[in-house]
Structure 1
Amino acid sequence: MLNLKILLLSRKFEIHSSRRLVEEGVSRGHTMLLWDPEWPLARLKIQPDIIIPRLGSYQFSKAVKVLAAMERQVLARFNPPLPCLINPSQNYTVARNKWFTYVALTEAGIASPPSYLITRYDETFPPLEFPMIVKKLESSKGEGVFLAHSTKEVAEIFAKTGDEELLLQEYFPEAFGTDIRAFVIGDQIKAVMKRTAQPGEFRSNLALGATGEPCELQPSESELILKTVRTLGLQVSGVDLLRTRKGSLVLEANPCPGLEGIEKYNQQNLASSIIQYAEELYGKHKTSR
């Protein structure tokens, strides 16, 4: 059995997904090191074999810079210079930004809800009808996502978010409060669930009280999901689909998908699957040296 040194870049052990990964890594005989992005990298004295970043919305810009520094500077101190890395910083940055993601998917011909970037508020909007979805570019768990019914409400959202850039997105009433989350590891879709929001809520995030249930994908949806992760260069991700009158559309691909809900509703040990994938990645990496 392999005994790898796996570094989990995460704020704290108490986060459910981080704890699950540590538990499964230890159970498979590995040495697990949880490294807080707040800690000075000069203190990192152990050469990890695998790095698994778990970077949420909290101080994301700072955390992804730490990940990039690990790739660029810290790991260069070690020999061999670079361990296996799941979701590199550049790909992480694109996937965490809703506008960057939309541009990448559009260029790849992947169907997504029509979206527009607005950098300042005025009453001249792109060709979208109200209501429309308004999103902060970097957010998760449904935070920073709004349903606007008028230009006045968009102005209020701008004021509330500090006049930062926002994404305007077409609203599909037929999908109100529901979407599909597919959990992808490598080139395999490991679990799928349909999420349903609480009554009256349009956001289907489990963190906001939504419920989940196992769900089957159409072959075309599976192809869409796998093309999305290949386009964004993600090895572990949660891809969200919206089933609409225009067909299935990709909303986003989360490079730090939560484990708690989807493991619960699908009765699958996805944390163990991630560790197994890391083992396979290490094996391929070692062979190629």
Structure 2
Amino acid sequence: MKLQGWIIYNGSLPGTKFLDFAEWIQAAAARKYSQTTIYKNNELLSFLSTDLLKLLKEDMNSLPDYVVFADKDIYLANQLESLGVRVFNRAEVIQNSDDKIASYQQLARQNLPIPKTIVAPKVFTNVQVDTDSVNLAIDQLGFPMIIKEAFGSFGEQVYLIHTKEELVTCVQALQGKAFMFQEFVSSSYGKDIRLHVVGDQVVAGMKRQAANDFRANVSSGATMEAYDPTDEERKLAISAAKALGADFAGVDLLFGPNNRPIICEINSNAHIRNMYDCTGINVADFIIDYILDTINKN
């Protein structure tokens, strides 16, 4: 029996990279004779009532055997799981990956290496900056330090801070948002590793290097090259993905002192085209193999 799948991406975002990811997954599924349908999240509305829970989709005859959820619409992912559909990655995984503070808390519970981090207290807008928190962060982390918003992509919500004045200004600007103070790992300035984990293995890796930025995001101009990780880096990336319960993930590692790896972040919906362009490895094939094997075992 051929398995039927859905691939869901966000229909409101500009550009084509999210649809591109969905199409790569669809092509990989077709190579394994699994038929898939691509949906925008706004084509599948969740309906809730006292005695009914369903999706509003007129031409939908049945639910799929699996869903590849290439989005952060947690409510829709939860709705699918409530209807008995196996979602890759699960809603809880996507939620914890999207929230970097939650990610670091999960990793810290497993005693995995992360930068020293202080979670900023929740405040509402138009209040005076909490100088006690600012001073404590300075005492614990020193300068330069990183300010990182809990929610963000492509390195755009990460700030390198050099002085107390810069820190106060940044904290003031982030009122009402969840963020953290974080140790700056100077040994990894402008460079990091992206390892793609699927199941229990690292299937591809690349090193990213920026010329004039402390961040190493390719979307911001960093270069990339194929990278063969050490055993320690492989083990850490797999442990990081498992700490969040991810079926697959892009795990970003920093070069710590003495080249010991430190976890930077985990991406449950990491794009795969750059990895293919860099390494020639199509991560989508590994993802689909893992999904079909998982469904067939259950």
TM-score, L = length of structure 1: 0.87
How many residue pairs match? The answer is: 269
Q: 1:237 aligns with which of 232, 235, 249?
A: 249
Deviates more, 1:186-195 or 1:271-280: 271-280
Structure 1 residue 122 displacement after superposition:
2.6
Q: In the superposition, relative to structure 1, how do residues 31 and 97 fare at CA in structure 2: closer, same or farther (>3 Å)? A: same
Give the conservation status (yes or no) of the 8 Å contact 1:181–1:239.
yes
Give the structure 2 partner of residue 19 of structure 1.
Answer: 23
Give the structure 2 partner of residue 94 of structure 1.
Answer: 96
Question: What is the one-letter code of the residue matched to 1:88?
Answer: R
Matches within 5 A, 1:21-40: 21-39=25-43, 40=45
Structure 2: state its 5+ residue gaps: 46-54, 124-128
Give the structure 2 partner of residue 264 of structure 1.
Answer: 277
Per-residue CA deviation, residues 98-145 of structure 1 (Å, 9 max, x unaligned), is 111111111111011111111344332321111111111011111211
Question: What is the one-letter code of the residue matched to 2:159?
Answer: F
Matches within 5 A, 1:145-224: 145-197=158-210, 199-224=211-236
Partners in 2 of 1:151 and 1:157 — Cα distance? 10
Structure 1: state its 5+ residue gaps: 76-81
Q: 1:125 aligns with which of 120, 125, 136?
A: 136
RMSD, matched Cα = 1.8
Structure 1 residue 29 displacement after superposition:
2.5
The reply to whether residue 140 of structure 1 matches residue 174 of structure 2 is no
Partners in 1 of 2:165 and 2:62 — Cα distance? 54
Q: In the superposition, relative to structure 1, how do residues 158 and 36 fare at CA in structure 2: closer, same or farther (>3 Å)? A: farther
Give the conservation status (yes or no) of the 8 Å contact 1:241–1:248.
yes
Structure 1 residue 238 displacement after superposition:
0.5
TM-score, L = length of structure 2: 0.85
Partners in 2 of 1:203 and 1:18 — Cα distance? 27
Partners in 2 of 1:17 and 1:152 — Cα distance? 41
Give the conservation status (yes or no) of the 8 Å contact 2:275–2:282.
no
Partners in 2 of 1:164 and 1:274 — Cα distance? 34
Structure 1 residue 192 displacement after superposition:
0.9
Question: What is the one-letter code of the residue matched to 1:218?
Answer: T
Give the conservation status (yes or no) of the 8 Å contact 1:225–1:239.
yes
Q: In the superposition, relative to structure 1, how do residues 27 and 216 fare at CA in structure 2: closer, same or farther (>3 Å)? A: closer
The reply to whether residue 65 of structure 1 matches residue 64 of structure 2 is no
Give the conservation status (yes or no) of the 8 Å contact 2:80–2:87.
no
Partners in 2 of 1:24 and 1:105 — Cα distance? 31
Partners in 1 of 2:107 and 2:25 — Cα distance? 29
Question: What is the one-letter code of the residue matched to 2:245?
Answer: G
Give the structure 1 partner of residue 49 of structure 2.
Answer: none
Structure 1 residue 171 displacement after superposition:
0.6
Give the conservation status (yes or no) of the 8 Å contact 2:66–2:86.
yes
SS at match of 2:113: coil
Question: What is the one-letter code of the residue matched to 2:56?
Answer: A
Partners in 2 of 1:225 and 1:170 — Cα distance? 20
Structure 1 residue 159 displacement after superposition:
4.1
Give the conservation status (yes or no) of the 8 Å contact 2:208–2:224.
yes
SS at match of 2:152: coil
